[in-house]
């Protein structure tokens, strides 16, 4: 049985896993964004806590995914919820760090001008700092997304489903077609999402801020 | 208009401003100058409350500025900085109209403001309004920086070394423009620089600071003639005659301000009457807006004029003109090499300031040699 035949035969199962995978990635990135961007902005206003918080987020990042999933399994059980919690934790750092550095690195002349001409702190944030930092922030989201697409394959281990399910099934039964059926779509997914978010970044970057890219 | 009353500021134990007091009048162009770190920027920023003094009070139009909301205060004071600080994510139009928008002016009005202001600096709207700052030259960017400060018609504009990063030619033309705009729109400007040339060119009043104190506050002429301190002399540098205490002199220092002027629409007969009653043989002719048009001599009128003719037709332009800030020596050279007996001294706005005759030149030279001659 060729790989193509395998795919057409297990089409539904693969599609279901893919959809679940996208759900896992989408939800955790979304929650990650909702946490990291406000937190990152908060840290730029409270630089003294920024160091410790970024260090903590960095430490979380270094804990191996399997260990984290193990904790989640013990503490919360199986299913989508623990998987999403773990993935969200991983999604936070790149977005948080890029939000923080993106805004911190906005040239002082812009913020000084905005204050000097009478913008409130909020206006400075929304009209000047965030728009200028936006490309950096979106880059953080892109990094997180690519990263979470691959981490999400581990979620299958704690019964959250997704493309990881196929891979683990394949690994435990020595069935390379299962492995490929999980690995290939997740690679393509990462590739496509990377491209889409990159495109979004370009669209959202005002002409005045576009630099030639490497 | 702006009043400083014993204003002090410390950072830690270092006193940056030490008991500063001064008054700035409505419509005055005041230049703050002094060595680096003397507190010019700090002084400037206390005016729009980017920095709060530790002691003393600042009043604008008699009102203590600490009583105002700082954000609202800043919207009524234009602010231009050396780094320009145009928002890179906004177009020229968006940058200029930002304060009017903060003040919730209607859209239509914002656009009119942008159009009027761009016209003021000769940057056509169609060509420039939709560009981003990175698409402009440095000089154009700072022009827009100035326009952004002007947009909501604030009566006061603060400028911190606005032209410091520009090349000399661009700087020259921006200095001219800002002076013209200031006169036209009657703004009160507080301008920081460390360039004495710039200060002399622009200022009605120069405030010289050193070490957080005001060393001298005077008009450019006064400062040139009586610098209060050796540090001011060193700043005046090339404007002083090699340190021998003789200040550099300008055309305006020698001119006679009593000039007989007539509008271009005057008739030949009136002119002849005026000349004979004042015992002069030529008159200065002005355009309708009082700018200099040319001169007319009695010979010309006699030779070519018909009674009742408009004088404008007989005006000639062979008398040389100099600007009032032209060095005296250059003005003299021009006078000596000219056929006529005098040169006309013009203000920056092309109105007539006075004239230098061969007699007034001789008198000036005499004074330089023998002191006051009568
Ligand atoms: N936030 C700050 N904390 C401590 N010291 C400061 C601070 N801001 C300015 N200073 C010091 O105050 C002094 C005056 O600064 P200011 O910026 O007013 O100088 P300046 O006259 O504008 O100088 P320059 O010509 O270099 O711009 C300087 O010695 C500077 O180091
Ligand atoms: Mg300064």
B45 lines ligand 1 (CB under 6 A): no
Atom index in ligand 1 nearest the CA of residue B32 equals: 21
CATH number of the domain where residue A112 is located: 1.10.3720.10
CATH number of the domain where residue B298 is located: 3.10.580.10
Please give the Cα distance from B107 to A193 (Å, whole number).
39
- On the 0-12 / 13-18 / 19+ scale of CB atoms within 10 A, B258 is exposed
Q: Which residues surround ligand 2, an ion (CB under 5 A)?
A: B 41
Please give the Cα distance from B216 to B201 (Å, whole number).
17
Q: Is residue A214 part of a domain?
A: no
Proportion of chain A above pLDDT 90, given as a percent: 77
Give pLDDT tens digits for B176-208: 999 999 999 999 999 999 999 899 989 999 999
Q: Is residue B232 part of a domain?
A: yes
Chain A: nearest CA to B190, how far in angstroms?
14
Give pLDDT tens digits for B122-170: 999 999 999 999 999 999 999 999 999 999 999 999 999 999 988 888 8
Structural domain harbouring B136: 2-239
Q: For residue B15, what are the β-bridge partners? A: B10
Number of structural domains in chain B: 2
Q: Work out the pLDDT band at A125, boundaries 50, 70, 90.
A: very high
DSSP, collapsed to helix, strand or coil, labels residue B271 as helix
Q: Are the beta carbons of A79 and A159 closer than 8 angstroms? A: yes
Segments in chain B below pLDDT 70? 238-248, 368, 371-374
Task: Quote the distance between the C-alpha of residue B84 and its chain's center.
Answer: 21
Number of structural domains in chain A: 1
Q: Are the beta carbons of B5 and B59 closer than 8 angstroms? A: yes
pLDDT at A42: 97
Please tell me which of A41-45, A65-69, A164-168 the model is most confident about, judged by mean pLDDT. A41-45
Q: Would you say how long chain B is, in residues?
A: 374
Residue among A117, A127, A207 whose CB faces B74 most closely:
A117
Q: Is residue B164 part of a domain?
A: yes
In angstroms, the Cα distances linking B337 to A139, B259, B330, B340, B355 are 70, 22, 11, 9, 16
Task: Quote the distance between the C-alpha of residue B79 and its chain's center.
Answer: 18
Structural domain harbouring A36: 3-207
Across A149-175, average pLDDT: 91
pLDDT at A209: 83
My answer on whether B171 and B301 are in the same domain is no
A212 has a pLDDT exceeding 50: no
Please give the Cα distance from A164 to A187 (Å, whole number).
12
3-state DSSP helix/strand/coil % of chain B, to nearest 5 = 40, 25, 35
Distance from residue B181's CA to the centre of ligand 2 (Å): 24
Q: Hey, how many other C-beta atoms are within 10 angstroms of the C-beta on B117? A: 21
Q: Is A105 on the interface with B (CB under 8 A)?
A: no
Would the CB atoms of A109 and B72 count as touching at under 8 Å?
no
């Amino acid at each position: 049985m060729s790989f193509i035949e395998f795919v057409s035969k297990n089409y539904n199962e693969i599609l279901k896993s893919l959809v679940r995978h996208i759900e896992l990635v989408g939800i955790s990135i979304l929650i990650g964004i909702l946490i990291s961007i406000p937190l990152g902005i908060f840290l730029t206003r409270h630089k003294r806590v920024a160091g410790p918080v970024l260090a903590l987020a960095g430490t979380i990042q270094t804990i191996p995914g399997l260990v984290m999933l193990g904790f989640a399994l013990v503490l919360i059980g199986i299913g989508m919820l623990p998987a999403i919690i773990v993935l969200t934790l991983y999604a936070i750092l790149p977005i948080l760090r890029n939000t923080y550095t993106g805004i911190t690195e906005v040239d002082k002349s812009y913020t000084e001008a905005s204050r000097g001409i009478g913008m409130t702190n909020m206006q400075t944030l929304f009209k000047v700092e965030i728009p200028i930092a936006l490309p950096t922030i979106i880059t953080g989201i892109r990094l997180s997304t690519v990263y979470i697409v691959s981490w999400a394959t581990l979620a299958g281990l704690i019964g959250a489903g997704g493309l990881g399910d196929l891979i683990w099934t394949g690994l435990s039964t020595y069935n390379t077609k299962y492995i490929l059926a999980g690995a290939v779509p997740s690679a393509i997914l990462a590739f496509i999402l990377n491209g889409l978010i990159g495109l979004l970044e370009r669209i959202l970057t005002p002409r005045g801020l576009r630099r030639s890219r490497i | 208009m702006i009043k400083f009353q014993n204003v002090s500021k410390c950072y830690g134990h270092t006193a940056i401003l030490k008991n500063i007091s001064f008054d700035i009048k409505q419509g005055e162009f005041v230049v703050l100058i002094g060595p680096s770190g003397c507190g010019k920027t700090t002084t400037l920023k206390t005016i729009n409350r980017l920095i709060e003094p530790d002691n003393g009070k600042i009043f604008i139009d008699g009102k203590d500025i600490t009583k105002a909301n700082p954000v609202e205060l800043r919207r009524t004071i234009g602010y231009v900085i050396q780094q320009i600080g145009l928002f890179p994510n906004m177009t020229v139009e968006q940058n200029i109209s930002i304060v009017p928008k903060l003040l919730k002016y209607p859209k239509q009005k914002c656009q009119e403001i942008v159009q009027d202001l761009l016209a003021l600096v000769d940057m056509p709207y169609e060509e420039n309004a939709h560009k981003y700052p990175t698409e402009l030259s440095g000089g154009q960017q700072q022009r827009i920086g100035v326009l952004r400060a002007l947009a909501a018609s604030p009566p006061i504009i603060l400028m911190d070394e606005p032209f410091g990063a520009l090349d000399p030619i661009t700087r020259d033309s921006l200095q001219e423009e800002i002076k013209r705009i200031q006169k036209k729109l009657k703004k009160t400007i507080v301008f920081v620089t460390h360039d004495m040339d710039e200060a002399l060119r622009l200022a009605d009043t120069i405030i010289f600071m050193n070490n957080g104190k005001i060393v001298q506050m005077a008009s450019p002429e006064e400062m040139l003639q009586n610098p209060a301190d050796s540090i001011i002399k060193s700043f005046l540098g090339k404007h002083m005659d090699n340190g021998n205490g003789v200040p550099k002199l300008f055309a305006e220092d020698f001119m006679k301000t009593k000039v007989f002027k007539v509008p271009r629409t005057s008739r030949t007969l009136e002119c002849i009457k005026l000349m004979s009653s004042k015992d002069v043989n030529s008159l200065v002719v002005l355009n309708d807006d009082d700018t200099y048009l040319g001169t007319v001599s009695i010979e010309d009128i006699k030779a070519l004029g018909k009674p009742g003719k408009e004088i404008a037709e007989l005006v000639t332009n062979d008398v040389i003109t100099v600007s009032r800030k032209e060095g005296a020596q250059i003005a003299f050279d021009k006078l000596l090499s000219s056929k006529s007996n005098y040169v006309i001294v013009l203000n920056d706005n092309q109105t007539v300031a006075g004239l230098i005759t061969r007699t007034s030149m001789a008198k000036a030279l005499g004074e330089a040699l023998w002191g006051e001659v009568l």
